Amino acid sequence: MALRLATWNINSVRIRLDLVDRFLDEYAPDILCLQEIKAETASFPDAWFTERGYTHTAIRGQKGYHGVATLSRHPLDASGSIDWCKKGDARHVEAGIAGGIRLHNFYVPAGGDVPDVEANEKFAHKLDFLDEMIAWSGALAGPTILVGDLNVAPYESDVWSHKQLLNVVSHTPVETDRLKALLASHDWIDVMRHFVPEPERLFSWWSYRARDWRASDRGRRLDHIWISPTLAPALKSMRVIEDARGWEKPSDHAPVIADFDL
């Protein structure tokens, strides 16, 4: 079965439905995983998605900020969520897809601006969240796909300037070391780097602060698709839909697509 999976930090789903509509029309993913939906579960526009064929949903919403949603054209089994760090945040939703595969959709905390756990509780929260993910990941047994905005660019070629961003949250050594430990904990395959190996630059996020984001190209790879090693033979292709970052009133993240033959 051919399966197209997309992940996208939409940065408020209700105000960007026109962009989502365009994306669905042009790229037709079978499963769309959204992060930072900024809507409570009850106010998520699931009827809008149903009209477009996404009749199966797993949504974990929250008023005002955070929130993740998985929308599918195919049945989803037994959805659920983990309360990471016991904060009650809507940062994760899980569902079963074809072939007994578990799909986990994450929105890892951004971590604030100061990379110091004593001075910045948001940064401490981010590191604790990643530590919990490492322990959880190491216990996984079945075929699994992990997607989402992990808010860490782990490799030098995942940022526009390794040297200038070493002390900037999302690329500090304490964060990148943890994300690499998370990768190793399940022997995850980093799908994006599977198709675009280092040291080729690969980004999925460009700041709103850049007057001309494309010309400056000061990006980071914060969005990820990882798979269990047993799913490697199913991989067919991967694309970052960079053009979507240039659509009118865009998210600062671009969608990432992976194609599988399951």
- Specify the pLDDT at position 211: 85
- Specify the pLDDT at position 222: 99
Question: Which sign, positive or negative, has the C-alpha torsion 28, 109, 248, 226?
Answer: negative
- Specify the pLDDT at position 101: 98
Round to whole Å and give the CA distance between 73 and 53.
Answer: 6
Mean pLDDT, to the nearest integer, of 209-234? 96
Question: Which residues lie below 8 Å from residue 149, measured CB to CB, with a gap of 6+?
Answer: 7, 9, 35, 36, 106, 107, 108, 222, 223, 253
Cis peptide before 199 (omega within 30 of 0): yes
CA 169 to chain centre: 17
Q: Which tokens is 260 given? A: 């599988």
- Specify the pLDDT at position 79: 85
Digit-coded pLDDT (tens) for 34-62? 999 999 999 999 999 999 999 999 999 99
What is the three-class DSSP state of 220? Answer: strand
Stated pTM of the model: 0.98
pLDDT class of 27 with cuts at 50, 70, 90 = very high
**What is the rounded average pLDDT for all residues in the chain?**
97
Listed by start position, the domains of the chain span 2-261
Q: Is the pLDDT of residue 31 over 90?
A: yes
Round to whole Å and give the CA distance between 232 and 188.
Answer: 10
Q: How many CB atoms lie within 10 A of CB 199?
A: 8
Round to whole Å and give the CA distance between 209 and 226.
Answer: 29
Q: Is the pLDDT of residue 185 over 90?
A: yes
CA 136 to chain centre: 17
Round to whole Å and give the CA distance between 232 and 251.
Answer: 30
Q: Is the pLDDT of residue 117 over 90?
A: yes
Round to whole Å and give the CA distance between 136 and 92.
Answer: 13
Q: What is the DSSP string of 134-171?
A: HHHHHT--S-EEEEEE-----SGGGBS-HHHHTTSTTS
Round to whole Å and give the CA distance between 117 and 128.
Answer: 10
Q: Check: CATH 3.60.10.10 for 2-261?
A: yes
- Specify the pLDDT at position 46: 94
Q: Is the pLDDT of residue 111 over 90?
A: yes
Round to whole Å and give the CA distance between 139 and 133.
Answer: 10
